[in-house]
Structure 1
């Protein structure tokens, strides 16, 4: 029953997110909202809707570890697994706007979350700050979109798949119906997924945090997986990268912010294990995007393999440490003393070799 409940909840999350994105994108474009804003806000929010639904549901059920672990685990999964697998399919071209603007904003959001978490709690005030930053980011995108050229807007419009004229869902009433149906599916799907995940944790003898960081994080990232892998196969490589970056930013600002507001005066308690290790892994992964993206403006296949390798190492560590959760901090020291230096060396090699290649004959 737990497996059926989990798979049913996961299916509802994926269907609900896709339905919500289709309805919201069509409605926004029907009312003349810029395709740039639709692509970077509604689509990113839509693919992150499962994370929001699961985290809010977990908070209301008193499962803070799942709520926070889901966000941290999803961001790690998005970069290491999704970008890694997408790059193995085809080398990923990184859009210059992502390098100059979106990636630094994503990294900045991660640093803000770390700073707010250092006291072991995301208070309602902290959550309000994150939510305010999300609103400010959205307003910034709207203002920026007004300066976009018509050609750029038409290109963005094709990327978010606007509704064709005469299609059954081209009317605003149908689009609102899709939004409502998507939200209902997300609510039920998140409830089933959280229930099944809690039961799995009890049956396997591992903590809610580990389940949130692995099974729930991977499950709620299925819309991002589908979007990025499909984009990579179709050759739309900039979409594959942009989807991950936009979703990560929204996960931090929107998901943690809304979950913290729902938690009320109690706030969101940060598990010591998460603060000692996993949130630092997330930040290291986000920071790793800067040199990888900036040198050569391409994620090569071998780099995708490195990303996937690190994700496998991370999950293996979590599984091995699950039965000795009290010793997680000691294991964290070993990982930080070996894995992180290896990552730094790899990135330094990339930064040294790629400029030399770029300076060669074209």
Structure 2
């Protein structure tokens, strides 16, 4: 490893962020021209655009013969999106979630994650598996657009301003931003993959761990920027919609399409099947009861998400470097932290469900006696 590898990683991250920003603005403006609602711009258009860095990195990694990095990038990004980005967003401001996201999009995300884990158990995402994953994404996109058309028919909707907090750009400039964004993403991905692989080789850390940590955080920066912009605009449901939509695109498009393009599929490392994919599924499932109870993600829940991500990252680093503290850290996580989190989630879910039932009863009583 030398200074050039570090520079490649940093330049790659910067190019990915710039490319993602250009792609988001261009794609959102073009989508607004055809009359898509703010929610669909967040769930579909912006999510697809912010997943472009992951797609560029995954394709580049497969071409360079680094399938571990390709899989680790997607799995790590989905974990980062929920635990870190949603966690930080909830700490900044409690996230009130629209019912469509809770009742449709989050269950689709959980279902697609389960499908990914199932098709990966044989150690490979085959061409047929890729068709399945991509097919679910296409179906979700079509249904979302149909549902969004109904919402866009409501008055007083501005499809661009609420979603992105930016002024609409001319159509010709939107096309230029779209093309420039794609170019920057491709170049940034090449720099990032090259530098990350060289650093991993020098440090003795696997490409999977690099993909799960450094590359995953780097390619998730567009999602973080979009969520913060949405929070500043008071569009908390947009922050959640962007993350949920991005996770769906990461699985359906970023892993599904390359598995189809490259024919032979994408090998899945056994370490990812044993730990990281189940954790990705657990984070998706954990979001479900939190979102259903009260349709809000509270600050303390966001803090818990961030703490869990820090603990997960610490475990990856300790385990990959075979540090003496790894065994003790693992025991603490397995026998204390994770059971405590599970008990907390069950207790909170039961409490919130009770409050929800009470509100329903009170509303029914008021209607009957009104």
TM over 0.5: yes
Alpha-carbon offset, residue 145 of structure 1: 2.8
1:154 to 150, 153, 157: 157
1:133-169 Cα shifts (integer Å, max 9, x gaps): 22222222232233335227825543334985xx6x4
Alignment of 1:1-362 (within 5 A): 1-33=4-36, 36-148=39-151, 150-151=153-154, 154=157, 156-161=159-164, 169-171=169-171, 173-265=172-264, 267-324=265-322, 335=333, 338-358=336-356, 359=358
- Distance 1:229-1:142 versus aligned 2 partners, 3 A rule: closer
How many Å apart are 1:53 and its aligned residue?
Answer: 0.6
Q: Which shows bigger deviation, 150-159 or 316-325?
A: 150-159
- In the TM superposition, residue 341 of structure 1 has moved relative to its aligned partner by 2.8
CA–CA distance in structure 2, aligned partners of residues 45 and 8 of structure 1 = 23
Residues 160 and 312 (structure 1), Cα distance of their counterparts in 2 relative to 1, 3 Å cut = same
| Paired residues of 1:67 and 1:259 also in contact (CA < 8 A) | no
Q: Displacement of 1:56 after TM fit?
A: 0.8
Q: Distance in 1 between matches of 2:11 and 2:107?
A: 37
Compared with structure 1, are the counterparts of its residues 77 and 121 closer, same or farther at alpha carbon in structure 2 (3 Å cutoff)?
same
Deviation for aligned residue 1:199: 1.2
Measure, in 2, the Cα distance between the counterparts of 1:35 and 1:118: 38
Q: TM-score when scaled to structure 2?
A: 0.88
Deviates more, 1:231-240 or 1:346-355: 231-240
Alpha-carbon deviations, 1:201-252, whole Å to 9, x = none?
0121100000000000000000011111233344322122111111111111
Name the count of aligned residue pairs.
Answer: 355
Seen in structure 2, the aligned counterparts of structure 1 residues 5 and 19 have a Cα distance that, compared at 3 Å, is same
CA distance in 2, matches of 1:344, 1:270: 28
CA separation of 1:42/1:149 partners in 2, compared to 1, >3 Å: closer, same or farther?
Answer: closer
CA deviations on 1:287-344 (whole Å, 9 max, x unpaired) are 001111111221111111111110011001001100249xx99997985555543332
Q: TM-score, normalised by structure 1?
A: 0.90
Instruction: Single out whichever of 297-306 and 233-242 deviates more from structure 2.
Output: 233-242
Superposed displacement of residue 91, structure 1: 1.3
Q: CA deviation at 1:36?
A: 4.8
Q: 1:136 to 1:350 in 2, by over 3 A?
A: same
Deviations 1:53-73 (A, max 9, x none): 101110111110111001110
SS in 1 for 2:65: coil
- Tell me, in whole angstroms, the C-alpha distance in 1 between the residues paired with 2:63 and 2:191: 14
User: Aligned Cα RMSD in Å?
Assistant: 2.6
CA distance in 2, matches of 1:137, 1:355: 28
